[in-house]
Amino acid sequence: MNISFDNTENAFAYKSDKELKGARFLFKTMEYPWFVQVGTRLTPFIMKTGLPVHGMIRKTIFRQFVGGETLEETAAVGETLGKYGVQVILDYGVEGKQGEESFDHATDEFIRVINYAATQKNIPFISIKVTGLARFGLLQTLNEAPRLRSGIHDHEAEIAEWDRVRERMYTICEVAAEKNIGVLIDAEESWIQDPVDRLTMEMMEMFNKEKVIVYNTIQLYRHDRLHFLQLSHRIAQEQDFMLGIKLVRGAYMEKERERAYEKGYESPIQPDKTSTDRDYDTAVKFCIDHIDHISVIVASHNEQSNLYAAQLLDEKNITHNHHHVHFSQLYGMSDNITFNLAKEGFNVSKYLPFGPIRDVIPYLMRRAQENSSVSGQTGRELALIRKELTRRKS
């Protein structure tokens, strides 16, 4: 194995000089937290006013982080990535819709994405959110209810509502199993995560008998999730199904801590980054140690964790393209990890959202905030881009 995450020639081979300069400009603006704070607050409002900013957003942050407004537009991005051995995780990036009609529509959209993915060479997975199929308040009610196997509680209307959610998820997973497309179920806030976990385990038990179709997402910035991974493995062994796991660090840290403080309960978040990194790498090792029964997606922008996972495979003489180990990064970020892993023959993908600009604004605002707030993230991206532009110029 000869991986260097500093190799910018591999990292940006798929980008033209013009595209690379556009990325440099975008990340340069993200170096100023005040600018990002103002921009992320004003952009959703400006979009609602109808002011002509659509084109500017499309040419900048949308182009960097999103595959297109339609499934068909993602095809060009997918084809480009495929030339460099990089696969795609498709994500229908529309958020915040509510109501039974919207949930049914989202189900139909997820199925449409699965059917499309099945026609493409390099789209092995799609990503879905249970909050796209279920009312947030329902999930919170179920999370707080006694954890009984059948009767979550005795309110008939909500039991019927939950049954509809289960039917939507079953329909999606059934089509995915027929088309051999993996379904990655996103993690949510801790106060609605329990019913998401239970639903995901239920789907795994049904669809992960012979191969892994359904994956749960585990956020290792929560101090209880390493134990939950080990418990999930034990349940899978007892119930005789394969465990599908996507490992992430997490996405709701500030929100989780604020809520815990306001409501007076212990924060579910790790005390420091070192603890998160330790649990993440321990989870990676646990999954690879049980590679016959666990299919894992190492979904991380942390260079050390990706390198650790790659080294573990080599130490155990496991082939780089083993079908139970996959790496993934967000489209528009950490190309130095993605493309250098692909160059060494590992299974690696870009998480590729798509959807109308107006609807993916929440996703884009999170990307801007993440790059601005995560220590060193923007600086690292900028340094790599500048290094590659200098190399090309010379």
Instruction: Report if residue 309 sits inside a domain.
Output: yes
Q: Residue 373: what pLDDT? A: 52
Q: Residue 325: what pLDDT? A: 98
Sign for the CA dihedral angle at 329, 334, 336, 339 comes to positive
Bridge partners (DSSP) of residue 163 are none
Instruction: Report if residue 13 sits inside a domain.
Output: no
**What is the enclosing helix (H) or strand (E) of 326?**
strand 325-330
Whether 89 and 330 have beta carbons less than 8 Å apart is answered as: no
How far is CA 331 from each of CA 110, 142, 299, 336, rounded to the nearest angstrom?
A: 19, 34, 12, 12
Instruction: Report if residue 249 sits inside a domain.
Output: yes
Domain at 283, CATH number: 3.20.20.220
- Tell me which residue of 389, 372, 351, 348 sits closest to 3, measured CA to CA: 348
Determine the structural domain holding residue 188 and report its residue range: 65-367
- Tell me which residue of 26, 30, 323 sits closest to 182, measured CA to CA: 323
Instruction: Report if residue 341 sits inside a domain.
Output: yes
Instruction: Report if residue 9 sits inside a domain.
Output: no
Whether 308 and 281 have beta carbons less than 8 Å apart is answered as: yes
For the chain, the first-to-last Cα distance in angstroms comes to 28
Whether 177 and 213 have beta carbons less than 8 Å apart is answered as: yes
Distance CA(301)–CA(376), nearest Å, equals 12
Backbone angles phi, psi at 156, to 5 degrees: -60, -40
Residue 60 has what DSSP assignment? I
3-state secondary structure of 122: coil
Distance CA(134)–CA(113), nearest Å, equals 19
Q: Residue 150: what pLDDT? A: 47
Distance CA(314)–CA(316), nearest Å, equals 5
Helices 136-144 + 156-179 axis angle, to 10: 110
Instruction: Report if residue 199 sits inside a domain.
Output: yes
Residues in the chain predicted with pLDDT less than 50, given as ranges, are 148-151
Whether 93 and 360 have beta carbons less than 8 Å apart is answered as: yes
Instruction: Report if residue 381 sits inside a domain.
Output: no
Instruction: Report if residue 343 sits inside a domain.
Output: yes
The count of domains in the chain is 1
Distance CA(86)–CA(334), nearest Å, equals 13
Residues in the chain: 394
Q: Residue 354: what pLDDT? A: 92
